[in-house]
Structure 1
Amino acid sequence: MTQETASDITEEAIVAAVDRAINVIQTASQEIRERQIPTENVALEVSVKIMAVVELKMKADVPKEEQLKENHKSKSLSDSEGEH
Structure 2
Amino acid sequence: MATVLLTLLVCLGELVDAYPAKPQAPGEHASPDELNRYYTSLRHYLNLVTRQRFGKRDFSEALLSILLFPDREDPPVKSR
Task: Please give the TM-score of this superposition, normalised by the length of structure 1.
Answer: 0.33
The answer to which structure has the higher strand fraction is 1
Task: Please give the TM-score of this superposition, normalised by the length of structure 2.
Answer: 0.34
